[in-house]
Chain A
Amino acid sequence: MSWIELKNIKKTYSGAPAVRELNLKIEDKQFVTLLGPSGCGKTTTLRIIAGLEEPDSGEVIVDGKIFFSREKGIFVPPEKRRLGLIFQSYALWPHMTVRKNISLALEQMHLSKEEIDNIVHEVLEKVQLSEYIDRYPSELSGGQQQRVAVARMIAAKPSIFLMDEPLSNLDAMLRVDMRAELKKLHHDSGATTVYVTHDQVEALTLSDKIAVMNNGVLKQIGTPEEIYKRPEDLFVARFVGSPRINSIEGSLAKKDGRFFFEREEIRTALSEIDDSDMSRLEKLSEGKLIATIRPEDIGVSKTAKPGWLEVVVTSVLPAGSETILTVITKGNVELSLKMNGFTDIKRNDRIWINIDPGKTNYYNEKTGKLILSYFK
């Protein structure tokens, strides 16, 4: 059992808040990613869990044991928390060989020489670096250093792994491979993992749960699917997904007993809604609202179709497996679309698109909060 709970964590650096009122619960054996733009407080949060940073107030609880609480006068130092942490820079000790890097902490644990040796070989085998045991960190490639950092961490058998952008120093190809390895590592060890990244693809592929942060505030925590399909606010909607989600400002309308979202010639039906829902929605949206739809959820046709919207293509960006189009409607709304593979559509072509009401979320324009979602 290794669950982590952060209660009302606050941390300021000389007056500037880095984390405000953070509440977060991470369950046993879960892989949780802290995702957010640069400077949003991810690293700070991770360091608070590790004990390297002391919050101004709040509690850090692991397995029901309080690690930090100013109010209760409790502080368990990082030395005693028995957590594993991988730094962005790996923080390998440059004057020690790989073997020594791994064994230094083990020597602290009153193990016999053979036991230590066995563990060192075992973890190096796990990360496939056995033949590099006597090298110094500077004699290893970035990816190998990263794996030594992993080996060093798992050698001490912590039940919680903390990782701060461990892949950000690697090139794109290697990053994809290492992602798979980290996922396997988590699977094999069953350690609860908190993983910091600003790369949403990494977050989506690796996590059981994603916690999206902005400006020191936890915006939403949920499974990757929830985060992707049902972002609780516009920040999350816009931060996750590439290209960026389409957002269309508009208002509610009622025609012939049916309800619509309207913006110039764009009109999407709101299904399964009656009058009472409508008045609730009107209240929630305070008049104006924003509809969002992912680029891949917009239908594309080269020929006119009934009810589809005519648009002009303003750019075509092929990327191999997919092509990103940007288009502009007659009412000057700009949208991005995603098509599979390559396409013969060119700039300035006329095409027809379909904004699927079954893939659209609606937000309050002022607060940015979700008011109606297609994904339950």
Chain B
Amino acid sequence: MADTPLARSAAFTKLKFQLTRLRYRTDIILSIIFVIVFGFLVLVPLIKIIIVSLTYQSFDMRVIRDMKKLGTFTLYHYKRIFASDFSYAILVKPFINSLLVGFGVTAMAMLLGSLLAWAIVRTDLPWKNFFDSIIVIPYMMPSWVIALAWLIIFKNNRVAGEDGMLKILFGITPPDWFSYGLFPIIICLGLHYYSYSYLLISGALKTVNSELEEAGAIAGLKKWAVLRKITFPIVLPALGSSFVLTFTRSMGTFGTPALLGLPVRFFNIPTQIYASISMRNMGDAYVLALILVVLAGIAIYINSKIVGVRKSFVTMAGKGFKNRMNSLGSWRYPVAIIILLFLFVAFLLPLLLLVWNTFLLLPGDYSISNLTTHFWIGDSDYRIASGEPGIFKNPGIWNGVWNSIRLGVLAALINGFLGLFIGYAVVRNRGTRLSKSLEAISFAPYVFPSIAMGAIYLGMFAKPLGPIPALYGTFSLLVLIVVVKNIPFSSRSGISAMLQIDKSLEESARLQGLPWFKRFRKILFPLTKSGFLSGMILTFITAMRELSLIILLVTPTTRVLTTIIFAYEDQEEVQHANGVTLILITIIIIANFIVRKFFGNKSLMGLKES
């Protein structure tokens, strides 16, 4: 039938219609491009992980000793990991540890986050604005800063190097379980991740209209019933989001477990992956990575079941209602002071310790005579720190500063625009399969553990791939992976920004004859600017403090601050590590301050998760 002239011309008109129509449907064109490109950047890695995990790798040849089998199909890695003598060490223990870390941190973070959110949003606590603006600072710091501080205080010499402060000043040697491993990992991560829960839950609480609660009270509900029937359902999506976010992140986190776990051979799955990859044992590493992917998927699934897919979308930019405050009575000031103390311990103390530590010639010696400015402004001296010059005189560090800022700014810009375009494409096509696929695929990078994603990109871009040249060793590769990893967040904020614009605003411009680009520039962009900016600052922060994602991809010329810190810590050059950490945090805080100052103060409040 395709051969009759009639059928051919019918097919031709159909095509002609679609083409003329598509020319003016930028949303569809964008959707198609994004689905293809992201599909490539997300699905190819996933397939690649699966293939590698199912074939013999060169590392295995040491055991197998049969070169012919290289690259052929096998369940070898799965057997090795799930059912062999190594299973306990490679899988079971790290798996249990990851779960323990995940649940421990989630419990601690959500408890802290919701208590603080409630106290700050819904009570007559004094100094609220101050708390509200300062409480999210841990969010801006890399998650392992507190771990660095922990080591300064609680290190014990039984495991490595010098004593910690506690031993030196008070003569107390903390036990191993206190200095290293699960316990400090949970504490340190909990003190970081509470800020996520706080942001999400306080945002939801701000949208709870106290009139609703009053209506409930008038309708005869008891105080507890009001909380259970009205307040709780409204904050449930936020609780769900912060659960998934904290759980998946802390389970898959690398930095803190590496700093506090490795010295006592405490492995969780990410550090085990890192260890496997360092040994070039890709097969094992990728099976473990798949396990993390599946776990993240399960957490997201459970959350969407409990909260409902639609409702799991928490908007932080909600309108502030007039809230009637719960009175704390005579507890007002005591509670405020407890929060102050908490904030002191959660971030001021760690920062002060880091600062102090950078002025010590020999770490652990707190006498006046041991103070030095060498690590900041000293010239290279072969007797100190293997001759590393002070931070301000260190070209390697300056290069890292430049790289980090470049990475942050580029990723922020690209993600900002991508987020808007994705949001536009998804929202304009709402309900179609194309739109759903785009939304799903934009969310996919979320489930990849950073360390595993880095490993895959390492393999994927080591050689030229189609039209893409070999990117390994280039700065572009860092930008690429950071952008891809952040797409879930920027697309979420893009979607919610676009949802807030009635489509008639664009349609009226269409009827007035404005072409797409002009509509975007004159109408859509200005109206979504605040969402765009908050998405940008978030990406900037995430990119600046990113470690596990890029640690496998940096080369000496593309080193960024986080990998420099990790390297110094690895070489036991703690003063340098701490000093560079401080520089990193300073840059992030200054950038955030600038954005808030110039573009309104909602920036961090744009945090959205699902």
Q: What is the predominant secondary structure among interface residues of chain A facing chain B? A: loop
Chain B hits for A104, CB < 8 A:
509, 512, 514, 522
Q: Considering the chains assembled together, what is the distance between the CA atoms of A70 and B15 in angstroms?
A: 10
Chain B contributes a number of interface residues (CB within 8 A of A) equal to 28
Checking B431, B502, B513 against A91 with a beta-carbon cut-off of 8 angstroms, the contacting residue is: B502
Asked if B20 is at the interface (CB within 8 A of a chain A CB), the reply is yes
Among A50, A93, A94, point to the contact of B511 (Cβ < 8 A).
A50
Contact of B527 with A108 in the complex, beta carbons under 8 Å: no
Whether B16 sits at the interface, judged by CB under 8 Å, is yes
**A91–B504 CB distance below 8 A:** yes
> Bound complex: CA of A11 vs CA of B372, how far in Å?
79
The answer to whether B14 and A79 touch across the interface, beta carbons within 8 angstroms, is no
Residue of A nearest to B23 (CB): A77
Alpha-carbon distance between A81 and B510 when the two chains are bound, in angstroms: 10
The winner among B14, B15, B509 for most chain A CB atoms within 10 A is B509
**Cα(A19)–Cα(B476), bound, Å:** 52
B593 within 8 Å of A by Cβ? Answer: no
- Chain B residues positioned under 8 Å from A83 (CB to CB): 511
Identify B527's interface contact among A74, A75, A94, CB under 8 A: A94
Q: How far is the CB of B573 from chain A (nearest CB, A)?
A: 52
B512 / chain A contacts, CB cutoff of 8 Å: 104-105, 108, 152, 156
Write the A82-120 contact mask toward B (1 if CB under 8 angstroms, else 0): 111101010101110000000011001100000000000
Is B21 close to A, CB under 8 A?
A: yes
Closest Cβ of chain A to B447, distance in Å, is 30
Complex Cα distance A52/B511, Å?
9
| Cβ contacts under 8 Å, A152 to chain B | 508, 512
Q: Tell me whether A108 and B518 are in contact (CB under 8 A).
A: yes
Q: Are B511's CB and A84's CB within 8 A?
A: yes
Interface string of B1-22 (1 = CB under 8 A from A): 0000000000011111100110
A contact residues around B515 at 8 Å (CB): 79
Interface pair B431/A52, CB less than 8 Å apart: no
B residues in contact with A59, CB < 8 Å: none
Query: How long is the Cα–Cα vector from A91 to B24 in the complex, in angstroms?
Result: 21
> Quick check: B507 and A93 within 8 Å, CB to CB?
no
**How far, in angstroms, from A88 to B511 measured CA to CA in the complex?**
15
A80 within 8 A of B: yes
Docked-complex contact B508 and A87, CB < 8 angstroms = yes
> Measured between alpha carbons, how far is A18 from B527 in the docked complex, in Å?
31
Q: How far does the Cβ of A100 sit from chain B's closest Cβ, in whole Å?
A: 9
Contact across chains for B13 and A71 when beta carbons are under 8 A apart: yes
Residues A74 and B17 in contact in the complex (CB < 8 Å), given A85-B508, A87-B504, A104-B509? yes
Chain B, 557-575, CB within 8 A of any chain A CB: none
Chain B residues closer than 8 Å to A37, beta-carbon distance:
none
Least CB distance from A106 to B in Å reads 9
Nearest B residue to A95 via CB reads: B526
**A85–B502 contact, CB under 8 A?**
no
Q: Are B523 and A79 in contact (CB under 8 A)?
A: no
Contact A70–B17 (Cβ < 8 Å): yes
Minimal Cβ-Cβ distance residue in A for B19: A73
Which B residues are in CB contact (< 8 Å) with A81?
511
Does A332 belong to the interface (CB within 8 Å)?
no
Contact in complex: B20, A14 (CB < 8 Å): no
Q: Is A78 an interface residue (CB 8 A)?
A: yes
CA distance A52 to B431 in the complex (A): 17
Residues on B with beta carbons closer than 8 Å to the beta carbon of A71: 13
A64-B431 Cα distance, complex, nearest whole Å: 35
Tell me if A262 is interfacial: C-beta within 8 Å of chain B.
no
Q: Which residue of A is nearest B504, CB measured? A: A91
Q: Does B505 contact A (CB under 8 A)?
A: yes
A235 to B270, CA, bound (A): 70
Cα A44 to Cα B15 in complex, Å, equals 25
Q: Is the CB of B21 within 8 A of A105?
A: no
Q: Is residue A376 within 8 Å, beta carbon to beta carbon, of the partner chain? A: no
Residues of B at under 8 Å CB distance from A? Answer: 12-17, 20-21, 23-24, 431, 502, 504-505, 507-515, 518, 522-523, 526-527
Query: Which residues does A use to contact B, with CB under 8 Å?
Result: 14, 50, 52, 54, 70-75, 77-85, 87, 89, 91, 93-95, 104-105, 108-109, 152, 156
What 14 new A-B contacts, CB under 8 Å, besides A73-B20, A75-B21, A93-B527? A52-B507, A72-B13, A73-B16, A78-B510, A79-B513, A79-B514, A80-B513, A83-B511, A84-B511, A91-B508, A93-B522, A93-B523, A95-B527, A104-B509
What are 28 A-B pairs with beta-carbon distances under 8 A? A50-B507, A71-B13, A72-B13, A74-B17, A75-B20, A75-B21, A77-B23, A78-B507, A79-B24, A79-B510, A79-B511, A79-B514, A85-B508, A89-B504, A91-B504, A91-B505, A93-B505, A93-B509, A93-B523, A94-B527, A95-B526, A95-B527, A104-B509, A104-B512, A105-B512, A108-B512, A108-B513, A156-B513
Interface pairs A-B: 10 shortest CB-CB: A105-B512, A73-B13, A77-B24, A73-B16, A91-B504, A91-B508, A73-B17, A78-B510, A87-B504, A75-B21
